[in-house]
Amino acid sequence: MSAQLLTLVLVVIVALGFDFTNGFHDTGNSMATTIATGALKPKTAVALAAVLNLVGAFLSVAVALTVTNAVVSIQNSDGTPDSALTADHGSALLLIILAGLVGGIVWNLTTWLFGLPSSSSHALFGGLIGATIAGIGWGGVHWTGDSTKLDGVVGKVILPAFASPVIAAIVSMVGTWLIFRITRALGEGLNNGGFRWGQIGTGSLMALAHGTNDAQKTMGVITLSLIAYGSWTDLSAIPLWVKVSCAVAIALGTYVGGWRIIRTLGKGITEIEARQGTAAQGSAAAVILASSQLGFALSTTHVATGSILGSGLGKPGAHVRWRVAGRMAVAWFITLPMAALVGAGTWEIGNAVGGGLVGALLMVALLLVASGLMYARSRRHPITAENVNDDWEDPAAVLEPSDPVAA
């Protein structure tokens, strides 16, 4: 096996690793409220979400080859890699992609450790932007589109990030308020029973949409690497094994369940009951589907979080924990730059030892060390399917997951 092929194998494995973190980071987006209200048992909910993510990933037949074009210029508009980067089996491009993926994974794990729902797409784009700046220069980043369409970092990432939680919160607030008006004469039992299926249905729709949208990104990145290496030439199809492995990786991640994040979403922002869960998930599903139909992709995480917040605002007398919401907002704003920083740093380190296979191996070693440390840190206060729904305010139950200095 040649050094270049080994590098490619590393890129593919790390990309699938990113897909896996993408899965568990976002389980909460579709299932946090369903779990918090007890509409489904935690394990059942994550299993359902995993299956729907798997199905969703296979539904994405469209070829998302140009996924990186939104933010960086490492490919041409037809999907082929930039010819300046393809010499020597694409090793320059592979290193940029690898460093970008490392940035995305490290940031995903960091926010997971603190129980913060942050956007996996922002983490991936951030990592790629950082690695591109380090590898090609500032000119390699696609900051804005032309005046005819929304594109680039500003149009496709930053503006939607500001708008999507606000829109989702408004829709969910209106929905929650109206639902409470309509059903206030009914007892708690009737409401919880009646809205159980509403929650399950809307949560399932979210999980399916998530699988369709997010698995595509990793599929695109892997296929781009294969083309750069020279082992794939078809621009109108994705290799079947790439599709299958990406679908399985995101489904496995979803099934593992990012319990720390699920807890923040389901218990931390506001106390949720079934009616709010239905309103929140219904609003989130509608915002995501409407926006992707109108041509711009919103982050499922931002939309889901905004919706849950809105369901707290719309319920008469409910209490929203603004401290938790504020900490999440901070995490969103720094996700892109922080992942970019890690991506750029990773590329510099890999480049300092001469790039190529040695650089790639060093990058992967650093990733493993960082992931291992964070996993070990998480075991000190583990959050699992058993304690995910414990009272948020009760310090004896679990330490607040987003407190970085909790001893």
Partner 1 sequence: MFTLFLQDIWKVLLYSLILGAGLPVVYALGVRASALGTVAADGAETAAVRRRQVLGKTVAGICFAVVLAGIGLGLAYIWASGHGDQLSFEHGSPTFVPKS
Q: Which of 126/203 has CB closer to partner 1?
A: 203
Contact between 313 and partner 1 (CB under 8 A)? no
Nearest-approach distance from CB 263 to partner 1, in angstroms: 24
Contact between 65 and partner 1 (CB under 8 A)? no
Task: Give the C-alpha separation, 214 to 299, whole Å.
Answer: 10
Q: Which member of 3, 44, 82, 201 binds partner 1 (CB under 8 A)?
A: 201
**What is the residue type of 102?**
V
Distances (CA, A) of 162 to 152, 156, 311: 15, 11, 19
Contact between 217 and partner 1 (CB under 8 A)? no
Contact between 63 and partner 1 (CB under 8 A)? yes
Burial of 148 (0-12, 13-18, 19+ CB in 10 A): exposed
Q: Which parts of 16-45 interact with partner 1 (CB under 8 A)?
A: none
Task: Give the C-alpha separation, 223 to 75, whole Å.
Answer: 12
Task: Give the C-alpha separation, 75 to 94, whole Å.
Answer: 12
DSSP 83: G
Q: Which parts of 328-387 interact with partner 1 (CB under 8 A)?
A: none
Burial of 147 (0-12, 13-18, 19+ CB in 10 A): exposed
Q: Which member of 20, 114, 195, 229 binds partner 1 (CB under 8 A)?
A: 195
Task: Give the C-alpha separation, 241 to 63, whole Å.
Answer: 14
What phi-psi label fits residue 319: left (phi over 0), alpha (psi between -120 and 50 degrees) or beta?
Answer: beta
Q: Which member of 80, 183, 371, 387 binds partner 1 (CB under 8 A)?
A: 183
Contact between 278 and partner 1 (CB under 8 A)? yes
Contact between 69 and partner 1 (CB under 8 A)? no
Contact between 244 and partner 1 (CB under 8 A)? no
Beta carbons of 107 and 127 less than 8 angstroms apart: yes
Contact between 213 and partner 1 (CB under 8 A)? yes
Task: Tell me how many residues contact partner 1 (CB under 8 A).
Answer: 57
Contact between 294 and partner 1 (CB under 8 A)? yes
Burial of 327 (0-12, 13-18, 19+ CB in 10 A): middle
Contact between 254 and partner 1 (CB under 8 A)? no
Nearest-approach distance from CB 61 to partner 1, in angstroms: 5
Q: Which member of 5, 9, 87, 190 binds partner 1 (CB under 8 A)?
A: 190
Beta carbons of 227 and 233 less than 8 angstroms apart: yes
Task: Give the C-alpha separation, 139 to 178, whole Å.
Answer: 50
Contact between 186 and partner 1 (CB under 8 A)? yes
Binding site for partner 1 (CB under 8 A): 56, 59-63, 144-145, 147, 149-150, 154-155, 159, 163, 167-168, 170-172, 174-175, 178-179, 182-183, 185-186, 190-191, 194-195, 198, 201-202, 205, 208-209, 212-213, 275, 278-279, 282-287, 289-296
